[in-house]
Structure 1
Amino acid sequence: MAQMRQQVKELESRKQRLVERTGAGSEEFRSPTPPSSSSYPSRATPVKRENFVRLANEIEAFRRQNAVMTKQLRERDVATGYMQNLLLEFSHDETDSDNNSSSGSDSGPAKSKKSKAREPLGSGPRPFNGNSRVRFTPLTREEGLTCVRQTLQLINNARLLYATEEHYYNRSKFLGWGQYTLRQGSTITFSVKKSLSKVTPAQLMATTWHLLTDGKNTQKLIPSTVNTHIRPLQKLSDDLFVIDRRSEDSARSGVLGKKLALRTVYVLFRVADADGSQTLAMKTINLPLVKKLLRDDEQWCDIFYWIRFLPDGSVRSSGGDARARDFSTVAEFGGSNTYTRDEIAKAWLGELVFLAIRWESLAVAPTLLKF
């Protein structure tokens, strides 16, 4: 692609030089007599029409090829959104039984064979062994904070698209979750949200952060057919991590009959705002060297989504008690990525609702159960 762009630039430069020489020649051979009313140049004008037409045709051909290649790259990038689908399905969890299959005094050959039968897809070794490490250069603190600022700006830009409640009111709800989605070209922006009673943003953030920073807990949010492994690569602070993630889906047929594990390295962070709202976000870091050195059974993909918890007003106090008697929090799941097929985008949004429902059972219920 870079070579083709360079060739196009060279052809355009040659075209410009030809036009300039043509203009200079016209001045040199121009007759002092008044110009003819004919629109055709005189014979004295050395206009190299054949070269001009040939160069113009070559430039146009390169532009068409560039458009075709861009389209092909976008179609290939459909796989980029595949990672989101790993978190967006509501199904039974088998993590505990799988993780405990090799523990205990009865872990004999039969149990080992059972554990082996449950190995995730993929022809290579299990994730995160000695062969699966990434060549990651740790970020400086300033680089980490820059990632956070840029990601928050992207979130704010995306949330402006659904800043008014009308975007949610005009769409159907599922178990109390309102939805919003917008396609701009090949970019899909989505969001689902719901108001939850008697729980604060800080409570929800604490339980959600615990779910997403531990591999065993993260597995509870995703389908049992998907085996996801996360490994912290760097801890910049208690609220900012760099995570290495590898996911394998036994329910997918793969590419050309070959099942590929999806790999990504992303920043995971949480921030609290002055208005009491809390934001958690995950966004892939651009790491060309890591992409280049992936194993044969792996494919790189990008993720970008966020979770926000916002106070939902008030709050009545009972009698002379100044403390709030009732309160609620709006939970919002959102994301943005590039898709070229509408059916994938629709499935993505539909599965996101089920992720939110499962999150609700794992993160919200513990804060409401009081003994």
Structure 2
Amino acid sequence: ETMKQMREQVKDLEQRKQRLVERAGGSDSGGLSDSIALMPSKVASPQSQEARSPTLPTSSYPSAVAPVKRDNFVQLTSEIEEFRRQNAIMINHLRERDLLTSYMQNLLMEFSKDKSDGDNNNSSGSGSDSSKDKNKYKQPLGSGPRPFNRDSSVRFTPLTREEGMACVQQTLQLINSARILYASDAHFQNRSKFLGWSQYTLRQGSTISFAVKKKLNNVTPQQLMATTWRILTDSKNVKKLISATVDTHIRPLQKLSDDLLVIDRRSEDSAHPGVGGKTLALRTVYVLFRVADADGGQTLAMKTINLPLVKKMMREDEMWCDIFYWLHFSRSGEVTSAGGNEQARDTAAVVEFGGSNTYTRDEIASVWLRELMFLAIRWETLAVAPTLLKQ
């Protein structure tokens, strides 16, 4: 409100200044015309001067326009410049306040109950309510090396809860549409499997779409969700999901709830050159969330947020990428008995991993398309193997 009032005052002062300038110009032209009109009278004969009726000098008549004083003009100009200077100072204060707010949120999330040096492989329980209550330590986000410096920081405006929930709903709709598409696609159904994973991949220019699916025995959707969430919120484990040539770091920007986060990610690919011959660095800011479905399944997704300001503030060696990954865990419809005993039944879960990513260059999309199947295999090694070893 104060900024609005100041802008109105500056605008009013500029209008007054313009009117004074116009009046000053009119007075000068009027004085010039009067002097021109009086010139013939100066050269006229004495007889003509005697014949004329006596008149007072023109300058003695009151002017229709008040004369402009130089002091007033200078004062108004100084006031306008002062308002502009104060306006610039207030804008800088607002920017500093927003930056400080974002910085403090990062500090609170990174250092409150910080256990980044702890063991990431602590037992997470079987997914029951009692185990969840006992394991409330919540491995902090962004643990491990953080290469982000002042130059790589993002000026992120925190999302409101309404904006976060709207993003979740939109992403869930995209996931449902993708699952329906892959389930009804004959090409997807007839593809050969790779290490038990059925696969569907498609590249259109710099955009890749994919989906893989596999049935896993002796695990539940809740167990898979617990281990996967712990992996994707820990920088050390995220590195294990991706190729050894790619150095990936994540950093939390905002925590809307225990199940909805905003994360900043930077990946450096030493195997491919980036801008100006430097190491290729991909940057993105995405939401990470998990939800429980009504049918007992579990859905996890990460999707890039459209942030034009963040894109403009990236470093010269960074390139923006839009990512969209989703995982859906559901119970298998096939339940087998163990040793003929109907009461002892083996549990099984079906895993669906899909998404659609857009990169700035076609060759980068080709590289990540080849990497997707290995990404699923690495996830299976990290998320499923520890669970089976505990049984």
Who is 1:336 aligned against? 356
Change (3 A) 1:341 1:246: closer
From 179, 184, 194, the counterpart of 1:174: 194
Decide whether aligned partners of structure 1 residues 344 and 261 sit closer, same or farther in structure 2, where only a CA change above 3 A counts: closer
From 224, 233, 243, the equivalent of 1:204 is 224
User: Contact 1:221/1:359 (CA < 8 Å) preserved in 2?
Assistant: yes
- SS class of match (2:229): helix
Q: Please identify, of 208-217 and 176-185, the stretch whose mean Cα deviation from structure 2 is larger.
A: 176-185
Answer whether contact 2:276 2:317 (CA < 8 A) is retained: no
Q: Is this contact kept in 2: 1:248–1:260, CA < 8 A? A: yes
* Identity level (%): 75
Deviation of 1:340 (Å): 9.6
What is the identity, as a one-letter code, of the residue corresponding to 2:278? K
2:390 equivalent to 1:366: no
- Verify the 8 A CA contact 2:183 2:189 in the aligned structure 1: no
Query: What are the equivalent positions in structure 2 for 1:309-348 lying under 5 Å apart?
Result: 309-317=329-337, 323=343, 325-338=345-358, 347-348=367-368
Task: State the Cα RMSD in Å.
Answer: 2.7
- How high is the TM-score relative to the length of structure 1? 0.61
Unaligned runs of at least 5 residues, structure 2: 1-116, 119-145
Pick closer, same or farther for the CA change 1:180–1:240 going to 2, 3 Å: same
Q: Is the 8 A contact 2:206 2:358 kept in 1?
A: yes
The equivalent of 1:6 in structure 2 is: none
Displacement after TM superposition at 1:314 (Å): 3.4
Q: Provide closer, same or farther for how the CA distance between residues 260 and 189 of structure 1 changes in structure 2, counting only shifts above 3 A.
A: closer
1:138 alignment partner AA: P
Q: For CA contacts below 8 A with separation 6 or more, give which structure has more relative contact order.
A: 1
Do 2:331 and 2:348's aligned partners in 1 also have CA atoms closer than 8 Å? Answer: yes
Give the counterpart letter for 1:213 in structure 2: T
Which of the residues 217, 231, 240 maps onto 1:220?
Answer: 240
Q: Equivalent of 1:352, from 359, 372, 382? A: 372
Q: Which of 261, 264, 268 pairs up with 1:244?
A: 264
Farther off after superposition, 344-353 or 287-296: 344-353
Supply the AA of the counterpart residue of 1:295.
Answer: R
The 5-angstrom pairing of residues 289-300 of structure 1 reads: 289-300=309-320
- Residue 167 of structure 1 and its aligned partner are, at CA, apart by 3.7
- 2:176 is matched with which residue? 156
Superimposed CA distance per residue, residues 164-190 of structure 1 (whole angstroms, 9 cap, x where no aligned partner): 374433112111111013457875421
1:358 is paired with a residue whose SS is helix
**One-letter amino acid of the counterpart of residue 140, structure 1:** T
2:160 equivalent to 1:140: yes
Task: Give the structure 2 partner of residue 305 of structure 1.
Answer: 325
Aligned ranges 1:271-286 → 2 under 5 Å: 271-286=291-306
Instruction: Tell me the residue number matched to 2:209.
Output: 189
Q: Call closer, same or farther: CA 1:341–1:229 in 2, change over 3 Å.
A: closer
- Aligned pair in 2 of structure 1 residues 158, 238: CA closer, same or farther (>3 Å)? same
Distance 1:324 1:134, change over 3 A: farther
Give 1:130 shift: 2.5
Separation in 2, partners of 1:288, 1:313: 44
Aligned match of 2:277: 257
Closer/same/farther in 2, CA of residues 183 and 262 from structure 1, 3 Å limit: closer
After TM superposition, give the deviation of residue 348 of structure 1 in Å.
Answer: 3.6
CA contact (8 A) 2:322 2:359 kept: no
- The code of the aligned residue for 1:149 comes to Q
Distance 2:326 2:298 in 1: 11
Q: Deviations over 1:108-140 (max 9, x none)?
A: xxxxxxxxxxxxxxxxxx731233211001111
Q: Distance in 1 between matches of 2:257 and 2:330?
A: 23
Partners of 1:283 and 1:304 within 8 A in 2: yes
Structure 1 CA distance, aligned partners of 2:180 and 2:365?
20
Quick one: structure 1 residues 258 and 343, their matched pair in 2 at CA, closer, same or farther if it must change by over 3 Å? closer
Structure 2 matches for 1:14-53, cutoff 5 A? none
Count of residues in Structure 1 that have an aligned counterpart in Structure 2: 248
Q: 1:262, CA displacement in angstroms?
A: 1.4
Q: CA deviation at 1:299?
A: 1.8
- Which residue matches 2:33? none
Paired amino acid for 2:310 = V
Say if 1:222 and 1:204 are closer, same or farther in 2 by CA, change over 3 A. same
